[in-house]
Structure 1
């Protein structure tokens, strides 16, 4: 019983870190996408 609770806690903790990493990746991806869009829209002379 105790082991099952520990497992659930570990899963919840890993899920939280995964979500955090996902949000971080999403932010970086959006920044890269935005910079690429700006570079394509306004090419340097």
Structure 2
């Protein structure tokens, strides 16, 4: 089952609810992840 929520990214950042973590971060219960992937082009 999918759960879909609408959100405003700017409001999340303004309230300190969104942040970046390193690859060693352990996902906790209730975390929501936004995964962004590049186009795969070489640098």
Range of TM-score over shorter length: under 0.3
Return the TM-score normalized by structure 2.
0.21
In terms of fraction of residues, the more helix-rich structure is 1
Return the TM-score normalized by structure 1.
0.20
Q: Kindly indicate whether structure 1 or structure 2 has the higher relative contact order, using CA contacts under 8 Å at least 6 residues apart.
A: 2
The structure number with the bigger radius of gyration is 1
